[in-house]
A and B are shown apart, each in its own frame.
Chain A
């Protein structure tokens, strides 16, 4: 009996060794880490690679009907982007916008909804894709019916939409997260990741860029493990706890890759009385993080402002519909946000990611 137990545990142990040391959760696309310090190099100008609607009517100055289809409805992040879109619509006075999305981040439900709105005959579609490829056929269908299509938050294939409002570049987010982590844990130590699922494109991209940047600029950060936790806060909490229990004092920091995982990880660290010993750095909305930032358990939260993201997306759609934003443009006016730059051919950059901390987090409400 004992022999068997030893054999089994031996097998399991060796397999765990064999599997260790590999970043899990990243994708295979090429990475482009930013320089460790100093300004980012200017990207090469790329020609416009977005699509264009066929036979779109002249919508200049006319009131347009717009539907916004986020990845899912019912989470704080997309409530915030909706608010931004509605704010912009109210400000412009020439846009009827409404948000309608699936209740789970499901590729098929999202496609069905967009298709219904194409049939209904909207003037514009705003979307945040659950999958860049799966959503492409229905977006192309929208373009072929003369509908203006603009993405935000999560991109589709470039030729399936006109423009994409990029909240912050992947390598910029990665740099911000890794730099914050390195600063908080003193430059070296073991770190782990709590993400939603390995199939979520944005998260996989960030993880891959974080790996590249971390290897380049903070080689003493030792990656321990990535765990999946869906968009479920109790599961995220349990998974973060399991990491804390497994690695003990070897674990110096946890990255939360979603607005659900970050607060749940912070809660796990708080309840394990490890504040100050284990840093939590992640992407999250300020409202969900206020309890942990105010208590001092979490120093910094990285995010762009999702209200601004929605707001900018609405302005970009208006500019496209008016014919003011054409292929080849280098910037676009986005109301109170001013002029936003065009990057990567057909993307509009919202700005650099923003770091919330104790000093400023209470000024935000989303």
Chain B
């Protein structure tokens, strides 16, 4: 038992993160500065919000491939509601968040009511939501947002990028929910054995609906921060986000088969990928080399972690 806790996946991942930090600081002098590290928080935000909820989704044994498309759709809804329909921007933000949440809820309904496997359901809505974004926008980008709106994506709060506060808040909140609440325990129970969870009186469908809706909400919140960061709205925003988020979650040790995983793990997974992207670039590695490195780190980290866990079990 003790051995196991020492060689937990999260511990190994933490050591890998530390090793990466040390090596990259030696390789690139600009890397280990407060400015640079805080700045990375800006780039980490959108994928973090999505990955935190994706952890819940994957722990239940599901997956949500439509998050990137929900991000695109919410961004377009934000822009259209504000510019074309003439709503005040705060109201348009609420509309965009609602549409994203509804899109996630719709995923949940297809999955729970019609019993469509999550991968298939969200593959279909991946195409649908992106298509809606394209159709609604008519491929026009929307710009000219007021200055105050950029505080969210480009501003600072007590010297720390605004969106980092949001990410920190959501990390603590999701970590707390998954570890200490009945919701969290229900999430694990569903992933470990759905039938048993049902029999023991857990509201399986309700929990799942809530989680997929939350995933949609996270994607739409990410959309608003992203629009604020880049100051424009396009229908192709967030393309490929789903794979980045899933990569961070599985690197964090969440089992793709469900039942196992932590927010701490996802958090380290996110950080490791971001510091590799940033640090390698600062050390003079081009983006193609960075792709290769991230792929290798993903496979090797899980390989090492599996070896240790197998030994400690045996």
Contacts and interface: CB of A to CB of B under 8 A. Distances in A.
Give yes or no for direct A-B contact (beta carbon below 8 Å): yes
Interface of A: 25, 27-28, 73, 98, 100-104, 106-109, 111-113, 115-117, 119-121, 131, 133-137, 197-199, 204
A199 B140 CA distance: 7
A134 B230 contact: yes
B287 A119 contact: no
B232 A133 contact: yes
A232 to B, nearest CB: 14
24 contacts: A25-B139, A100-B281, A103-B287, A104-B240, A107-B234, A107-B237, A108-B226, A108-B237, A111-B230, A115-B43, A117-B281, A119-B39, A119-B278, A119-B282, A121-B30, A131-B230, A131-B232, A131-B234, A133-B143, A134-B232, A137-B154, A137-B229, A137-B231, A199-B234
Contact of A120 (B43, B235, B281): B281
Contacts of B235: 199
Interface string B244-280: 0000000000000000000000000000000001100
Contacts of B140: 27-28
Given A133-B141, A134-B234, A106 B30 contact: no
Interface residues of B, number: 33
B239 interface: yes
Contact of B30 (A103, A104, A108, A119): A119
B240 A198 contact: no
B288 A103 contact: yes
A273 to B, nearest CB: 34
B287 A133 contact: no
Given A103-B288, A119-B36, A131-B141, A113 B230 contact: no
Nearest to A111: B230
A203 to B, nearest CB: 10
Nearest to B144: A133
A73 B141 CA distance: 24
Contacts of A197: 139, 236
B291 interface: yes
Nearest to A101: B287
A113 B30 contact: no
A135 to B, nearest CB: 8
Given A100-B286, A131-B234, A133-B141, A106 B239 contact: yes
A282 B140 CA distance: 23
Q: Which 4 A-B pairs have the closest CB atoms?
A: A198-B139, A133-B232, A134-B230, A116-B281
B287 A109 contact: yes
B287 A113 contact: yes
A212 B90 CA distance: 38
Contacts of A113: 281, 287
Q: Find the residue from A101, A116, A134, A198 having the highest chain B CB count within 10 A.
A: A116
B205 interface: no
Q: Find the residue from A73, A106, A131 having the highest chain B CB count within 10 A.
A: A131
Given A112-B43, A204-B139, A120 B234 contact: no
B230 A137 contact: yes
A154 to B, nearest CB: 14
B134 interface: yes
Interface in B215-236: 226, 229-232, 234-236
Contacts of A136: 231
Contacts of A106: 239-240
Contacts of B291: 103
B108 to A, nearest CB: 27
Interface in B188-246: 226, 229-232, 234-237, 239-240
Interface string B73-96: 000000000000000000000000
A197 to B, nearest CB: 7
Contacts of A115: 39, 43
Contact of B230 (A98, A100, A133): A133
Given A108-B237, A115-B43, A137-B150, 4 more contacts: A101-B287, A113-B281, A116-B277, A134-B230
B295 to A, nearest CB: 13
Contact of B282 (A25, A28, A120, A198): A120
A109 B281 CA distance: 12
B4 to A, nearest CB: 37
Contacts of A111: 230
Contacts of A109: 287
Interface in B7-60: 28, 30, 35-36, 39, 43
A27 B141 CA distance: 9
Nearest to B43: A112
A108 B154 CA distance: 14
Given A107-B230, A131-B234, A137-B154, A116 B139 contact: no
A198 B134 contact: yes
A32 to B, nearest CB: 19
Nearest to B33: A119
A306 B151 CA distance: 39
